[in-house]
Amino acid sequence: MNKINVAILGFGTVGQGVVKILQKNTNQWVKKCGAEIRVKKVLVKDLQKEREVKLPTGVITTEWQEIVQDPEIEVIIELMGGIEPARTYILEALRKGKYLVTANKDLLAEYGEEIFDTCQEANRELYFEASVGGGIPIINPLKQSLIGNNMEKVMGIVNGTTNYILSKMSQEGKTFAAALQEAQQLGYAESDPTADVEGLDAARKIAILASIAFHTRVKFQDVYVEGITKISPEDLEYAQQLGYAIKLLGIGIAQDDQVEVRVHPALIPLDHPLASVHDSFNAIFAQGDAVGETMFYGQGAGQLPTASSVVGDLLTVINDIKTNSIRSTCTCYEPKKIKPMGEVSTNYFLRLQVLDRPGVLANIAGVFGNYGVSLASVVQKGCFQDVAELVMITHKVREKDIQDSLEIIRELPITKEIVNLIRVEGME
């Protein structure tokens, strides 16, 4: 019987989840992949730290060279996160002929080209299903099951923390601050939630998905990013009244030789599948020219869901080793231009406070008309101390045109405040 020696870099939440799965289902691995899986080494920073999962003496180490120089270790699972030293370790491991599995979205979104070029040089594959969507299978379906399609769109809720916050704000009327505090208490959000609430985590994930779906290199720096910190309970309430939910979406769209990639809050119709995704769940909506619309839904984070994807990749690697097969690593073979955000066209939800005077709406509509902004609906949401709040939804318009028009409207003497501008997806 074959024995496959594995090393794990990082023994935090996900690393311990991987070992839990491997230990729990020991008898199944020989049947599933024809090999006994042995975790030979686990790299940690602190040998003395108490851990939930216990390993045999000598398995845990702080010495990277013990792992990369060991000819018996064939597969390395990188779960450290961050850029360094993960980048250095992965590159060195590939050059030593190791097979790699990672969940590192930061590294792939910023240094994917370097990593995959090294894979090609080393004739090795890199598996990274757990980098997006936790336990949701989406990377391999895009690379394999949907390869017969020209993918036109990939859009989804890819950050459970922000979805939990928006769900609590919408369903219970909580403020952003209160919902964030609850998410932190439950362990969904870090003490520093910036990567989540400012959209950075989602931006890294949509960069990876767009790269695979559209066969072009999309980096984290290419993604337009806007977080949820400006979303108020009033925005959510008004959206609901108009037949929409608000979600933080990662959006990738391919058209001709251009790709648009963006992360921002968006109104989506209540009958859209993504509108019913609540709490910390994730969902990814993909559209191809042959398959049409598909959606992948499930736990987007957490110890065992993410570890499930890692172990799935590990079994695939073991089958590659047994059959001595190497799959094509990098799918980014079509250079495409990233569309500037100013050229992106969509619909918009706008809240603004203006003086309650005759002719005010006509003045505003006149400015919009000068910039080609057409209004689909206008609703007045009350009046207080001679100030009226207007809620508008536009027809599809270029980002640059609406932003330019709002610069003019902001300076009008009738304008008290432009409260919020949120994009609308799925009106068509």
Instruction: Write out the catalytic residue numbers.
Output: 205
Distance of alpha carbon 14 from alpha carbon 102, whole angstroms: 11
Residue 148: other Cβ atoms inside 10 A: 10
Residue 111: other Cβ atoms inside 10 A: 19
Write the CB contacts of 276 (distance below 8 Å, at least 6 apart in sequence): none
The phi-psi region of residue 243 (left if phi > 0; otherwise alpha if psi is between -120 and 50; otherwise beta) is left
Distance of alpha carbon 159 from alpha carbon 269, whole angstroms: 20
Extract the tokens encoding 266. Answer: 């968006």
Extract the tokens encoding 287. Answer: 């559209």
Provide the strand spans (E) within 181-229: 224-225
Write the CB contacts of 403 (distance below 8 Å, at least 6 apart in sequence): 342
Is residue 256 exposed (0-12), middle (13-18) or buried (19+ Cβ within 10 Å)? exposed
- For residue 267, which of 350, 328, 206 has the smallest C-alpha distance? 350
Distance of alpha carbon 407 from alpha carbon 128, whole angstroms: 43
